[in-house]
Every structure is written in structure tokens, then in C-alpha cells.
């Protein structure tokens, strides 16, 4: 199988609401920055994989408008709609197929322009769960209940994890630099959906992220270009649509995605120096840390969603952070020994879908 490398990466500066730029401008700037980081021109890329959500973008077939800013003009372009990290999975396969050599993966999220919970309610099937008022908060609450029972996650742990995550995120120069709350502030924040309190949530931001992928053959033909990291393994899986306790506590799609990514890369969790885990809430971190058996220094050194949380593309931002770690370019959040890094993404009601990605760096951290 053709080896695929990341040769360029860029994330847009996040904000709770990017008001000075249209979405097209955000996407263009991020794609441009990733191409510049790779040292290639738009005309050199032979494929673009977009990961975007019509409903969040506010228009049907949003790639009609946004494919151009994403660099997809007179090239092979395709779009997935699950989450940003899924774009990396398909973009990787397209190059591994041998049909393509140099591709851009682009994803974005500007939910400050939309009513997220209305869209999430509209995601629910119309017969049972929608009339019940299902939305993201309630689904996350159900998830938190289930994993609290399954793993024994206490409110104290959820609170401590929030504060720690904000602490890690505060060092990330690519993040929001949120102020770090006290445990009392988290513990006294209002309930949103039992047991979730408002303070357990990672604040949603606007943002965008692009990666440039190259085949080993392309790199061989272009010796002046340096790989940041090899995409060593990916895995993704989707659970049942049901929101019952068994499904929510099983973590089965997360486990399947994680196991496949590690197996493809030929590593174990203990080999990973940094793992950015998608954590819409601190209960998610508690559940995924146990499921992946990742905690301590390797756990989300860049702060994951507590650094920035562009809802649709948080997972691909996590990938960008893991790639920067593997390349030794993570700046203030750089870990010392990081040959192998990983990133995780979750999507859908109560994390119905999960994506795991493993990267191999070439620097001697």
C-alpha cells in the first residue's frame, strides 16, 4: 500500500464568533496557508476532499460555494458530511489507491452563524426522538449518564478533568486561550442535561483546518519537500442510532476505530507520545481515556476542544495538533518524545461515530 504523508497543515485562528470574515474567506485563508506550509501551489494538487456540513454552513450543497475557496477548481473533488476527520480518512484512501498523488483535505465550522441546537434537533428522526426534543445537549447528557455508570465517572472527576483540560489548552498558542475556571466555578455552573453542567462543556468556536497529503511517490519526485508526518493508520466506525443505555455505554465504535488505527500503524497505545481526544464534554474525556487507555502526559497536550472547538471539524483540528506534535512543531505544547502521535474525533448523537488516526513523525523528539 502506498505510504501517505502530511506535507502541510494549517488551522484558522479560532474565535467564539468570527465576525470579520465570511466563511469563504476563512476557508480560502486556511487552504492557502496549508498549501504555503507544504510549499506547493494549488495547481499542483490533483484532488481535494472536503468535509463539511450543509446544515451548519446554512445552504444546500455548500461545497458549490466553498469548493473554490478550498482550492478545488478543475480538480477531482469529493465531499463527506460526517465530520472533518472523515475527510482525512477518505483523502488518505484516495491517495493510497494510486489514482492520486497530492491532495488537500479541508474542513470548517462557523456555527456562530447558526442555531446549533435547532440543527441538532432536525438531525433526529421525526417520529420519536425529534418530538421528545432531542438535541446535542440532551444526547450528551444521556451519554454522560451511561459512561458515568459504566466507568464510575464521578462529578468530581468530570470537574477536575475540565480544569486540567483548560490548563493544558491555555498553553496552546493556536487555541482560544480561555481563562481557566476554578473547580468551584465548574461545580456551581447550572445543569444543562443531568449530569452535565454547563461548565463541563467545551465552548463551541468557529474555525477551519486544512491538510496537504502526498504519496511517497510524489515526495520521491519532489525531494525539496519535507514530510511532517506519515499517516500511519486510520480507523472509523459507527454505532447504532439507538440512544439506549447499552449502546451509549458500550463505546464499541470508538474501540473499533481505535483498534483498527493502531493495528494499521503497528503500534500500541503505550507507544503514543500524544493523543488529542475529541472531548465535547469532560465526561467524554473520562470515557475515551479509559476506552483508549490513554491518560497522564500523553492525553490531549494541546487541550483538544478546550483549546478550540469548531464543532464539525474539531477532530481534524486534533489531527493537525497531533501532526504538529509528530513533526516537532507544536510550539509551547510540544512533548519531548513524540515519534508516534494520534488523534480522535467523534460525531453524531451521543458519539454515534468515531474516527481514530495515528501519525508517525520523522524528527527525533
Partner 1 sequence: MAETVGVISTYQTDYRSQHPDVTFVEQAQQAAVGALHAGNMRPDDVDAVVFSLAPTNFMGVADADRWAIDYIFGAGKPMFRVHTGGATGGSAVHAAYSLVRAGTFRIVMVIGAERIAETPDAQAVLNTIFDLFYERDMPLSTNTSVALQASAYMQRHGITQEDLAQAVVRQRWNALRHPQAHLKGEITVGDVMASPMISYPLKLYDICPRSSGSAAMIVGNVEALDSFQSRPAFLNGIGSVTGTYWVGDRLSPTADIDYAEMSLTDFSGAACFRRADIKDPVKEIQVVELYDPYSLVGYVQLERLGFCPRGKAARLDSEGFWDLDGGQVAVNPSGGTLCSNPIAITGLARCIDAANQVMGTAGGIQVHGVRNALATAVGGISQFHNVTIFGEDHVPDREEV
Binding site for partner 1 (CB under 8 A): 1-2, 48, 54-55, 59-61, 63-65, 67-68, 72-82, 86, 89-90, 92-94, 96-99, 119, 122-127, 235-242, 252-253, 256-257, 260, 348-349, 352-353
Question: Are 250 and 290 spatial neighbours (Cβ–Cβ below 8 Å)?
Answer: no
User: Phi and psi (nearest 5°) for 207?
Assistant: 180, 175
Q: Which is nearer to partner 1, 92 or 153 (CB)?
A: 92
Q: Which is nearer to partner 1, 16 or 96 (CB)?
A: 96
CB of 264 to partner 1, least distance (A): 9
DSSP-derived 3-state class of residue 275:
strand
Q: Which is nearer to partner 1, 90 or 272 (CB)?
A: 90
Distance CA 2, CA 281 (A): 37
Give the DSSP H or E segment for 10.
strand 4-11
CB of 58 to partner 1, least distance (A): 10
Question: Are 208 and 316 spatial neighbours (Cβ–Cβ below 8 Å)?
Answer: no
Handedness of CA 283, 147, 269, 1 (dihedral sign): negative
CB of 110 to partner 1, least distance (A): 15
The C-alpha cell 500500500 sits at 1
Cβ-based neighbours of 62, under 8 Å, separated by 6 or more? 52, 53, 54
CB of 45 to partner 1, least distance (A): 12
Q: Which is nearer to partner 1, 153 or 355 (CB)?
A: 355
CB of 327 to partner 1, least distance (A): 24
In 167-287, at which residue ranges do the beta strands (DSSP E only) sit? 191-193, 196-197, 207-215, 229-238, 272-276
Q: Which is nearer to partner 1, 14 or 235 (CB)?
A: 235
Distance CA 53, CA 68 (A): 16
CB of 176 to partner 1, least distance (A): 27
The C-alpha cell 476532499 sits at 49
For the chain, the C-alpha Rg in angstroms (whole number) is 19
CB of 271 to partner 1, least distance (A): 22
Distance CA 218, CA 199 (A): 47
CB of 235 to partner 1, least distance (A): 7
Q: Which is nearer to partner 1, 124 or 307 (CB)?
A: 124
Q: Which is nearer to partner 1, 242 or 245 (CB)?
A: 242
Q: Which is nearer to partner 1, 26 or 274 (CB)?
A: 26
Q: Which three cell numbers, joined as nine digits, stand for 216? A: 511517497
Handedness of CA 72, 78, 82, 86 (dihedral sign): negative
Amino acid at each position: 500500500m502506498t505510504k501517505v504523508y502530511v506535507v502541510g497543515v494549517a488551522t484558522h485562528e479560532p474565535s467564539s464568533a468570527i465576525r470579520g470574515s465570511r466563511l469563504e474567506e476563512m476557508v480560502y485563508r486556511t487552504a492557502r496557508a496549508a498549501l504555503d506550509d507544504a510549499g506547493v501551489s494549488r495547481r499542483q494538487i490533483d484532488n481535494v476532499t472536503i468535509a463539511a456540513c450543509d446544515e451548519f454552513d446554512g445552504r444546500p450543497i455548500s461545497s458549490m460555494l466553498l469548493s473554490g475557496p478550498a482550492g478545488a477548481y478543475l480538480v477531482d473533488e469529493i465531499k463527506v458530511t460526517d465530520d472533518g476527520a472523515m475527510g482525512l480518512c477518505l483523502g488518505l484512501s484516495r491517495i493510497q489507491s494510486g489514482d492520486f498523488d497530492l491532495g488537500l483535505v479541508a474542513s470548517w465550522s462557523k456555527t456562530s452563524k447558526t442555531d446549533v441546537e435547532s440543527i441538532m434537533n432536525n438531525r433526529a428522526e421525526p417520529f420519536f426522538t425529534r418530538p421528545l426534543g432531542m438535541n446535542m445537549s440532551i444526547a450528551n447528557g444521556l451519554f454522560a449518564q451511561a459512561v458515568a455508570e459504566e466507568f464510575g465517572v464521578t462529578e468530581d472527576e468530570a470537574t477536575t478533568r475540565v480544569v486540567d483540560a483548560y490548563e493544558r489548552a491555555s498553553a496552546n498558542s493556536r487555541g482560544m486561550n480561555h481563562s481557566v475556571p476554578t473547580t468551584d466555578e465548574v461545580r456551581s455552573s447550572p445543569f444543562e442535561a443531568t449530569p452535565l453542567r454547563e461548565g463541563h462543556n467545551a465552548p463551541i468556536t468557529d474555525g477551519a483546518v486544512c491538510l496537504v497529503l502526498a504519496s511517497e511517490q510524489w515526495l520521491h519526485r519532489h525531494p525539496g519537500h519535507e514530510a511532517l508526518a506519515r499517516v500511519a493508520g486510520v480507523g472509523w466506525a459507527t454505532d447504532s442510532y439507538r440512544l439506549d443505555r447499552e449502546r451509549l455505554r458500550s463505546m464499541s465504535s470508538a474501540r473499533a476505530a481505535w483498534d483498527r488505527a493502531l493495528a494499521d500503524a503497528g503500534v500500541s497505545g503505550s507507544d503514543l507520545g500524544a493523543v488529542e481526544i475529541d472531548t465535547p464534554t469532560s465526561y467524554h474525556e473520562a470515557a475515551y481515556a479509559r476506552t483508549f487507555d490513554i491518560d497522564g502526559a500523553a492525553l490531549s497536550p494541546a487541550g483538544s476542544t478546550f483549546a478550540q472547538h469548531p464543532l464539525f471539524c474539531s477532530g481534524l483540528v486534533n489531527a493537525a495538533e497531533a501532526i504538529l506534535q509528530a513533526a516537532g512543531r507544536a510550539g509551547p505544547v510540544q512533548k519531548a518524545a513524540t515519534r508516534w502521535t494520534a488523534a480522535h474525533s467523534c460525531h453524531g448523537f451521543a458519539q454515534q461515530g468515531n474516527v481514530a488516526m495515528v501519525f508517525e513523525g520523522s524528527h527525533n523528539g
